[in-house]
Amino acid sequence: MSAVLTAAADEGAAAVSEGVWHAAWRRFKGDRVGLGSMVVVLAFVLLIAAAAAGLVARDWQDEVGVPNAPPTLLGARAAAAGDGGIESPQGPDVDLSDIDPLAPRYREWEERARQYRTQEQPKRETLPFGGDRLGRDVLAKAIKGTEISVFVGVAAALGATFIGTMLGALAGFFGGRVGDLLEWVYNVFESIPNILLIFAFAAVVGRGVEGVVVILTFTGWTGMYRQVRAEFIKHSTREYVRSAEAIGASAASRMFRHILPNVSHVILVRMSLLAVGFIKAEVILSYLGLGVRVDQVSWGTMLAEAQNELILGYWWQLATATLFMAVFVTAFSLATDALRDALDPKLKGLA
């Protein structure tokens, strides 16, 4: 995000008048909360990139700790009475080799067993953020879950933005029959309560990460459509667009080379808002079993497991997933607010 803005700022600096991106970056730099949030978001992006590349949390499925291992800070759980397995018998050893029918073969088996090397996997008593029911590292799960949850949110936001922008541009630019048709489609999607639309799509689309992205993409584009359409209606009669028409610019060129860059800041802000909404939606869908599959992990599946663990007093998975989600979503929301304030100073402090 900031890389794009910096590049735009460099170009703008050479121009005579200050470009919209340059001005926005200048305002954004002055917003300390926004900058701080952006740094947090960038840190998360690095973490996600590392997880996607397999540098961290690749073996999140390994059962490295004892089941429900507590966080390191709390220290190892005191061994409960009766937890130590079978007590070893007291009293002197009795030699049974004369009546044990298997006795002659013990030596042979030992020889054969020696050919294989078994490794006792030491299960750790504590893990940095605790372990889950199977002893998997909660920290690794949370990192991998961040990757999936954020990927779903961003991918669906990109998809919904694409559909909404395309249809909104067509409807706003051409109006007339095309506009009426698209308005009709919009009204149809709007008249169904959002959650029912999601359920209806979930009933027919398969499960898994791709499924969630498809569902959210096709149910979430309407707000973007509405806004882009309004912007295109406003811009299509402006003088610069008419000038472009006068010198023979095609409709497509006017739409996407002239108008689109001028409304792109609106689209960017709306897309960030969509991403936040979709990340939350993915969590709920995954919790309900309509989201990612069991061999994957997301914040939603972590919360689903955490519900049962909480009753037993194992609160760390819930806390970790919540912490990761809260930090990321708060930073992302604040950065989006700052971005909107920077791009559209008139709105500052309103919402």
Partner 1 sequence: MAAYLVRRLWQMIPTLAGVVLLVFFLFKAFGGDPAEVLGGLNASPEQVDAIREQLGLNEPVWVQLWIFVKQVVGFDWGRSWATNEAVSQLFATRLPATLTVMLPILVLDTLVALPIAMAVAHRRGSLTDRAVMVITTVALSVSFLVYIIVGQYVFAFQLGWFPVQGWSEHVGTNLLVYAPLPVLLAVMVGIAPQTRLYRSFFLDELGQDYVRTARAKGMTEGVVLFRHVLRNALIPILANVGLQLPGIFVGSFLIEVFFSIPGLGREVLLAVNRSDFPVIQAVTVYLAMLTMVINLATDLAFRLADPRVVLK
Contact residues for partner 1, defined by CB under 8 A: 184-185, 187-189, 191-193, 195-197, 199-205, 280, 283-284, 287-290, 299-300, 303, 306-307, 310-311, 318, 322, 325-326, 328-330, 333-334, 349-351
Look at the block and give the residue holding tokens 């893990």: 127
Minimum CB distance to partner 1, residue 31 (Å): 14
Buried b (16+ CB within 10 A) or exposed e, 320-344: bbbebbeebbebbbbbbbbbbbbbe
- In contact, 28 and 342? CB cutoff 8 Å: yes
Q: Closer to partner 1 at the Cβ: 56 or 212? A: 212
In the bound state with partner 1, the residue whose beta carbon lies nearer, of 94 and 311, is: 311
Phi (first) and psi of residue 345, to 5 degrees: -60, -20
Our CB check for partner 1 shows the closer of 184 and 240 to be 184
Tokens encoding 91: 């009293």
**Nearest distance in Å: CB 199, partner 1:** 5
- Please list the alpha-helical segments (H only) found in the chain: 2-14, 20-29, 32-52, 106-114, 138-174, 176-191, 194-204, 209-219, 222-236, 239-246, 251-253, 260-287, 299-311, 316-343
Shortest spacing between CB 57 and partner 1, in angstroms: 21
Return the SS3 of 283: helix
Q: How far is the CB of 246 from partner 1 (least distance, A)?
A: 35
Identity of the residue, 64 or 302, whose beta carbon is nearer to partner 1 in the bound complex: 302
- Minimum CB separation from partner 1 for residue 272, in Å? 14
Q: Taking the complex as a whole, how short is the minimal distance between the CB of residue 148 and partner 1, in angstroms?
A: 15
SS3 97: coil
Tell me if residue 292 falls in helix, strand or coil.
coil
Q: What angle do CA 275, 281, 286 make, to 5 degrees?
A: 125
Closest approach, Cβ 266 to partner 1, in A, equals 18
CA angle 186, 278, 350 (to 5 degrees): 80
- Looking at residue 74, the DSSP 8-state letter turns out to be G
Please report, in angstroms and rounded to a whole number, the separation of the first and last CA atoms in the chain.
Answer: 22
Token pair for 248: 């023979």
Tokens 């121009």 correspond to 15
Give the nearer residue to partner 1 in terms of CB position, either 125 or 190: 190
Spatial separation of the C-alpha atoms in residues 318 and 65, rounded to whole Å: 18
Nearest distance from C-beta of residue 219 to partner 1, angstroms: 11
Shortest CB 283 distance to partner 1, Å: 5
| Residue linked to tokens 């559209």 | 344
Of 91 and 349, CB closest to partner 1: 349
The radius of gyration computed from the CA coordinates of the chain, to the nearest angstrom, equals 29
Pick the closer one to partner 1 by CB: 58 or 348: 348
Question: CA-to-CA distance for 190 and 225, rounded, in angstroms?
Answer: 11
The nearer residue to partner 1, 133 or 280, going by C-beta atoms, is: 280
Question: By C-beta, is 200 or 252 nearer to partner 1?
Answer: 200
